[in-house]
Structure 1
């Protein structure tokens, strides 16, 4: 049997491909309903090419070859003589399943970078605002400001506006002219121009104001301070204030590499400093009988995830992969690289933050405390600073703050963050928290 971890576009495409080839497959997902961030919880999604989700979601529920387990948090995994054992927590009960092959499609979460006031109520990521809307039909606030960088800001803003939200504007850090640097990616992916036109029309329809070359650098709970910034995110000058009660700030995505790390899959550092998995041309990882598809191999969006999911499934089945799929992946990967070029996240954001602002919100560790761990206690990396300050020791286990802490310390010591450190702070021995009681119940 094949197990697929994650029910986003990559996982759904892999599951349907396996089932179409008459093999049993189990899909394990942590969310209550399938779709991942892109098709979150809905059988019909509003937005560009929204209808294509239907066939994947229908197959998941109707194909007898697919077993779907939702609300299941995999907390550990191990190679055994019989295959790969996945230990998971579902409905408060600890269970396990052993399979021959695994396809990891664990996706990613929004990357957040701090600014003065980001720990205040009302500050969230665009993904969180979208999750509230798509998953619960809840608009996050009365007046919402969308900020950060990347194309994901557009569907979030348009989706909120379509639902009746008062969207205060879209504050994009970079100029759209940066796309001139990637002519081959645009040439190979002409369909992306139609997607841009779609959202441009929606923005015009809902009369949304878009500002480029700017970022939210402070929030007092009632209004956001907008500043002009350069390509490294350094403040050039304060520009204007916007009244709002919610800020949805997102700076790309961070892949979830925890489970693959536990299983020993080789990792690498992408050109933008993101930790991803190293896979071959068939999405095969370095670990035996494990394939990886989607954002965990490099942030590339739903189109690339769907392609990689199909390739991973065909390879896991031992089938020939059509040349057209290889070429489709090449085109989408070129576009993914262009995204990194067009929407870089420099380290100038460190100049936005007041010393008393928290960098680690779980443990309430401020910028000043982290800097003091370097200047007064001689910390020279994030791990050492964590021992002095507890930054990264909270509930999220550093998923949000570890990269930011490392970048701050690197600036303080005038050293580069090493690939080894980046990989180190991205991995955890336990994939998700589990109580001792639940663990003991599962052993009985």
Structure 2
């Protein structure tokens, strides 16, 4: 292995950790760059050290797996094989002939620029929540489901005393059980999907029996904690003046329409809502990696079509921690072989490849079941804010696509400013696409996050 063989891993969640450890164990120098103060990502999010949590394992599944990752990282850091850069926010990865430069912001105000030069890059940037708007969703007390979980795991605080968990997707289960077990009163788990459709996809689901056992465990916990589950229900509106007071939910017919007479109000001070996950692909798009749907396309080695760039985990498609670990391990082995000038032997990662295949089939089946309910866009009133950054309403978005004739998200953005704010459309783009009928396509941005002008001015001329 050449002394200059150096891998930059962006993201220290399950995929990034697995990739970094697999590559470091085979002689590659690794720099692990992550925005969080501790490794683990969202799945293994740890309480802040200053809190002195005595039993952090109580908030986690697969704690032994996390311990192996944590201890492996510590050993490689101590040995000098891995450099772990915490609280470093990557805003661009620049491709150069034969190398890459990773640009990051660090410091409390993110005003200091740092660069890392590497021979290869593994993008393990994870995913983020899709939240579809509804009247009242901007009220204080309405949070994302993952945000509520992050508050509990990272800060050991509850988002409220009486919580409704709503939306669709497997994430709602650990959020509801975690909040209830920690002392919140979960007034209802409102799931728009119909669990009775799961048996139709039994062959794909049976490929991952451990996930089925996990789902059954959550169902048992919900019963034990006396959490009411409303299947085939959706949130119609959140109510309150200064903050959230109640939510209106209603049952869904098979075609997605609201069942007449089924609406009911549930008092609560917090609504934790989410409608699945989307892949973080900003850095991959900047590098020119080809997408497949809403994720990054990779081959059997987890290579993108840009030489020297690998991707793993939610970046390549939403699939949970087990899939991310398998993909990260495969990527790390492939990178080590390629950087040494050899040709990887797929047999060396055959067990991980089998896990990858089963998990991908499992989550493809789940994705079909846990889709947002049909007709959700029709229930959004014209005065509902869709783009929170620029305060653009659904009525303005509909006008752009109707009388003004916008046929794509970029034109809608130019006409309404929806997507021009701080988040650059990450939050509102799915809603804008649903309201207008435009395809949800990713924008290729030069930067993955806002960057101070002083950092740009301080970059070398080359």
TM-score range, shorter chain: over 0.9
Is the CA contact (8 Å cut-off) linking 1:173 and 1:233 kept in structure 2? no
1:13 to 11, 15, 18: 18
Q: CA deviation at 1:230?
A: 3.5
1:208 to 227, 241, 247: 227
Q: 1-side partners of 2:363 and 2:402: how far apart? A: 39
SS in 2 for 1:317: helix
Q: CA deviation at 1:82?
A: 4.3
Is the CA contact (8 Å cut-off) linking 2:8 and 2:116 kept in structure 1? no
Q: CA deviation at 1:343?
A: 0.7
Aligned match of 2:247? 224
Aligned match of 1:60? 73
Is the CA contact (8 Å cut-off) linking 2:104 and 2:115 kept in structure 1? yes
Q: 1-side partners of 2:213 and 2:401: how far apart? A: 49
Q: 2-side partners of 1:326 and 1:368: how far apart? A: 47
Aligned match of 1:311? 330
Aligned match of 2:289? 265
Is the CA contact (8 Å cut-off) linking 2:132 and 2:430 kept in structure 1? no
Instruction: Report matched runs for 1:147-162 at 5 Å.
Output: 147-162=166-181
Aligned match of 1:352? 379
- Identify which range, 349-358 or 283-292, moves more after superposition: 349-358
Q: 2-side partners of 1:45 and 1:297: how far apart? A: 30
Distance 1:264 1:45, change over 3 A: farther
Structure 2 residue runs of 5 or longer lacking an equivalent are: 1-5, 48-55, 338-343
Aligned match of 2:447? 430
- Identify which range, 372-381 or 278-287, moves more after superposition: 372-381
Q: 1-side partners of 2:419 and 2:345: how far apart? A: 44
Q: 2-side partners of 1:234 and 1:277: how far apart? A: 34
Q: 1-side partners of 2:60 and 2:13: how far apart? A: 16
Q: CA deviation at 1:59?
A: 1.9
Q: CA deviation at 1:347?
A: 4.3
Aligned match of 1:87? 103
Aligned match of 1:371? 398
SS in 1 for 2:265: strand
Aligned match of 1:414? none
Q: 1-side partners of 2:301 and 2:74: how far apart? A: 27
Structure 1 residue runs of 5 or longer lacking an equivalent are: 270-274, 411-416
Is the CA contact (8 Å cut-off) linking 2:312 and 2:328 kept in structure 1? yes
Q: 2-side partners of 1:292 and 1:231: how far apart? A: 38
Q: 1-side partners of 2:106 and 2:374: how far apart? A: 40
Distance 1:44 1:442, change over 3 A: farther
Does residue 123 in structure 1 map to residue 148 in structure 2? no
Distance 1:443 1:163, change over 3 A: farther
- Identify which range, 141-150 or 178-187, moves more after superposition: 178-187
Q: CA deviation at 1:441?
A: 4.5
Aligned match of 2:29? 24
- Count of aligned positions: 429
RMSD: 1.7
1:99 to 118, 135, 152: 118
Aligned match of 1:236? 259
Is the CA contact (8 Å cut-off) linking 2:165 and 2:190 kept in structure 1? yes
Q: CA deviation at 1:100?
A: 0.4
Q: CA deviation at 1:229?
A: 1.5
Instruction: Report matched runs for 1:171-190 at 5 Å.
Output: 171-190=190-209
Q: 2-side partners of 1:47 and 1:95: how far apart? A: 33
Instruction: Report matched runs for 1:374-413 at 5 Å.
Output: 374-410=401-437
Distance 1:128 1:231, change over 3 A: farther
Instruction: Report matched runs for 1:42-81 at 5 Å.
Output: 42=47, 44=57, 46-63=59-76, 64=79, 65-81=81-97
1:33 to 26, 34, 38: 38
Q: CA deviation at 1:346?
A: 4.2
Q: CA deviation at 1:442?
A: 5.2
Is the CA contact (8 Å cut-off) linking 1:181 and 1:341 kept in structure 2? no
What does the per-residue CA deviation read over 1:377-414, in whole Å, with 9 as the maximum and x for residues that have no partner? 2222221121111111111000011121122111xxxx
What does the per-residue CA deviation read over 1:240-291, in whole Å, with 9 as the maximum and x for residues that have no partner? 110011111111101000001111111121xxxxx11111111110001111
Q: 1-side partners of 2:230 and 2:274: how far apart? A: 15
Is the CA contact (8 Å cut-off) linking 1:95 and 1:442 kept in structure 2? no
Q: 2-side partners of 1:370 and 1:84: how far apart? A: 39
Aligned match of 2:345? 320
Q: CA deviation at 1:130?
A: 0.7
SS in 1 for 2:59: coil
Aligned match of 1:413? none
Q: CA deviation at 1:46?
A: 2.4
Is the CA contact (8 Å cut-off) linking 2:123 and 2:311 kept in structure 1? yes
TM-score for both structures, normalised by structure 2: 0.89
Q: CA deviation at 1:176?
A: 1.1
Q: 1-side partners of 2:113 and 2:255: how far apart? A: 46
Does residue 255 in structure 1 map to residue 279 in structure 2? yes
TM-score for both structures, normalised by structure 1: 0.93
